[in-house]
Structure 1
């Protein structure tokens, strides 16, 4: 049994992705689309493509393809910004707003299920460590 940390993170990530994809399939969505809808519904700020790239640690072409598909499927709308015509604010469509509550509930329950394996102090350390990993690996 490998105790390689990268391997263990990958195995956990695959299991988490599988659960999100299974839930997403019920709504005819992908797991990534569910996560983006959840991110947009939780955010109180204006969200632009660059924010999604940063939040999900994805490159511009990947974000462009995902958002184009979501726009084509009427899951999001891109609105022009008067101060900068190059910027497009990303907002949930009415179709996504209907799914917002069940998605938020699923994501919250999934989060609790993941964190329930840890004690309170471990949770804080675990989340802090997970946030640090991508930053450290980029260097």
Structure 2
């Protein structure tokens, strides 16, 4: 068993995963981080998604999420619109420009997922997901 500290392994994995996705989206008109947010929004078409949801999903601070989403707005990838349930809240709505990238983003995420999972047995992946979720809860 590798005696490397858990935090080191997680950091290396996160950096390599981020770099890999950034390479996949290098030709796209958005950054890797923006691509991950777009993928999330595209994957939840029938839900009202707010900035707070992005913060929670990606573990971002409010200021980081604000900067990221404002940049995406400037690029014409999303709009903030009043919620149908409560006009005080602004839901994130994808533009037709963002929709153009649906196929490529889903293909790239699928490729990344396949590469990450590689030859790992399904039971091992389930264990990893369970342990990782517990680690995330431990750090809240």
TM-score by length of 2: 0.91
Unpaired runs of 5+ in structure 2? none
* Match of residue 128, structure 2, among 114, 126, 138: 126
2:48–2:83 contact (8 Å) kept in structure 1: no
Distance in 1 between residues matched to 2:15 and 2:84, nearest whole Å: 41
Q: How far is the alpha carbon of 1:28 from its aligned partner?
A: 2.6
Q: Where do residues 23-34 of structure 1 align in structure 2 (5 Å cutoff)? A: 23-34=24-35
Q: How far is the alpha carbon of 1:82 from its aligned partner?
A: 4.5
Q: Which moved more, 1:68-77 or 1:2-11?
A: 2-11
Distance in 1 between residues matched to 2:3 and 2:34, nearest whole Å: 32
RMSD of aligned alpha carbons:
1.5
Q: How far is the alpha carbon of 1:42 from its aligned partner?
A: 0.6
Deviations, residues 86-125 of structure 1 (Å, cap 9, x unaligned): 2111011111100011101110121121112411100111
Match of 2:60 in 1: 58
Q: Does 1:42 align with 2:48?
A: no
Distance in 2 between residues matched to 1:94 and 1:82, nearest whole Å: 20
Unpaired runs of 5+ in structure 1? none
Distance in 2 between residues matched to 1:92 and 1:58, nearest whole Å: 20
Distance in 1 between residues matched to 2:65 and 2:79, nearest whole Å: 14
TM-score by length of 1: 0.92
Distance in 1 between residues matched to 2:132 and 2:114, nearest whole Å: 16
* Match of residue 93, structure 2, among 58, 66, 91: 91
Distance in 1 between residues matched to 2:56 and 2:27, nearest whole Å: 28
Q: How far is the alpha carbon of 1:85 from its aligned partner?
A: 2.8
| Structure with bigger RCO (C-alpha 8 Å, 6+ apart) | 2
Distance in 2 between residues matched to 1:24 and 1:133, nearest whole Å: 29
Q: How far is the alpha carbon of 1:2 from its aligned partner?
A: 6.0
Q: Where do residues 100-111 of structure 1 align in structure 2 (5 Å cutoff)? A: 100-111=102-113
